[in-house]
């Protein structure tokens, strides 16, 4: 264990603050302070100015990762820049997903819906054939392949950037063979021991998501001493395991796993402290769209009435420097982020005398 560095004290622009602010992961956010999270659980607030004087080697390495730019993702014909937030559209071709189960079970309807998401501004389409909502049962890999393959083939052939959302190596292998460009594994390659081999051989990027337990048990009284630090260290271990399996670190994306073995309080803590995870040196994907925490905070609103809450969380993620925001409601989220981007662009425009 070591002291972790959480960027905070965000400022509108770096102008006039030379040496007093740092840029977060090469993106649109600058920060003037850091919260140091020590191994004993104590926290210390420090200004960026002079902070490097207190670093040991491990903290210096974390600082370099926090402040270095993230390379673009090359997904088929599409280059996805990561110096600004991008939208990943969720396309569940399942009968039982928590929010849109059954909506896109027909492959033709799913393909048209995916194309519409790209037109609306989604940079990546995330296609899943198995629900991982709390309480969901596992799906046989043959059924999962049958659900996702026609949709992957059509959307990839149309020039879309396609992600396959699966825990199973056979499904990932089939989807990558059909044109998918990215693997989104909610188990961080712990569910299927062959997944790391499939990803390493393919050369595709992979999303490693934190979770605790499986979908049937993950919400049975999850507990953490410090959810931010524990999720950070768990993801760090998964990154090390992926490197050992032959996957380059610059092909990894991390996800703190909102709702996967967390209470509402845990989820809120992760969102408030999301900037910490830039210290892993990988792009961050945040998936909080329509999730249970929104209903818990808003009079038990059902999943199909959580748009406003989903947008609030998407903007919060952008303000913490998240590079990829995974959502159901693509047009509305893209519009919200365009307005957010307009505010950032104005703040980052030098004022002339």
Strand spans (E) along 151-274: 162-165, 182-185, 206-209, 252-255
**Pick the catalytic residue: 6, 23, 154, 291?**
291
Tokens 């189960």 locate to: 101
- Which residues share a beta bridge with 162? 125
Residue 116 near residue 62 (C-beta atoms within 8 A): no
Name the one residue in this structure whose structure tokens are 């302070």. 33
Question: Tokens 């059924």 sit at which residue?
Answer: 143
194 a catalytic residue: no
Torsion of CA 60, 66, 72, 75, to 10 degrees: 100
What does the DSSP assignment read for 31-97? EEEEEEE-TTS-EEEEESTTGGGG--HHHHHHHHHHHSPPPPEEETTEEE--SS-EEEEEEE--S--
For the record, the structure tokens of 301 come out as 């609103």
Measure the CA–CA gap between 204 and 216, rounded to whole angstroms. Answer: 29
Determine whether 137 is an active site residue. Answer: no
Q: What angle do CA 165, 306, 267 make, to 5 degrees?
A: 65
- C-alpha neighbours within 13 Å on the C-beta side of residue 72: 9
Measured distance CA(24)–CA(320) in Å, rounded: 9
Catalytic residue among 167, 168, 326, 344: 326
**Residue 272, number of CB atoms within 10 A of its CB:** 14
Confirm if 334 and 120 have CB atoms less than 8 A apart.
Answer: yes
- For residue 28, give Cα distances in angstroms to 8, 13, 168: 14, 9, 35
Contact 156, 178 (CB under 8 A): yes
How far apart are the C-alpha atoms of 168 and 254, rounded to whole Å? 18
Question: Residues with catalytic annotation?
Answer: 291, 326
């Amino acid at each position: 264990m070591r002291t972790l560095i959480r960027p905070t004290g965000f400022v509108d622009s770096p102008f006039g603050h030379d040496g007093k602010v740092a840029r977060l992961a090469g993106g649109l956010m600058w920060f003037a302070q850091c919260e140091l999270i020590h191994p004993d659980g104590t926290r210390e607030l420090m200004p960026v100015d002079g902070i490097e004087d207190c670093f040991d080697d491990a903290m210096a390495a974390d600082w370099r990762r926090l402040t270095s730019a993230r390379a673009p993702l090359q997904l088929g014909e599409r280059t996805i820049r990561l110096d600004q937030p991008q939208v990943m559209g969720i396309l569940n071709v399942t009968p039982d997903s928590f929010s849109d189960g059954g909506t896109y079970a027909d492959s033709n309807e799913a393909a048209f819906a995916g194309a519409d998401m790209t037109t609306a501004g989604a940079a990546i389409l995330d296609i899943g054939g198995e629900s991982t909502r709390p309480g969901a049962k596992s799906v046989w890999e043959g059924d999962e392949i049958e659900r996702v393959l026609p949709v992957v083939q059509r959307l990839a052939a149309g020039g879309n950037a396609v992600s396959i959302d699966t825990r199973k190596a056979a499904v990932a292998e089939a989807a990558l063979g059909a044109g998918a460009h990215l693997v989104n594994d909610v188990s961080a390659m712990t569910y299927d021991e062959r997944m790391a081999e499939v990803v390493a051989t393919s050369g595709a990027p992979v999303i490693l998501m934190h979770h605790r337990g499986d979908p049937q048990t993950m919400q049975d009284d999850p507990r953490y001493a410090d959810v931010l630090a524990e999720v950070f260290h768990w993801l760090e271990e998964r990154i090390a395991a992926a490197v050992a399996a032959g996957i380059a670190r610059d092909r990894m994306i991390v996800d703190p796993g909102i709702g996967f073995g967390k209470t509402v309080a845990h989820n809120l803590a992760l969102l408030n402290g999301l900037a910490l995870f830039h210290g892993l040196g990988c792009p961050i994907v945040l998936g909080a769209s329509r999730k249970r925490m929104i209903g818990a905070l808003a009079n038990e609103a059902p999943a199909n009435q959580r748009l406003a809450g989903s947008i609030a969380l998407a903007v919060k993620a952008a303000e913490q420097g998240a590079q990829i925001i995974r959502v159901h409601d693509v047009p509305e989220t893209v519009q919200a982020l365009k307005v957010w981007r307009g505010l950032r662009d104005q703040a980052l425009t030098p004022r002339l005398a």
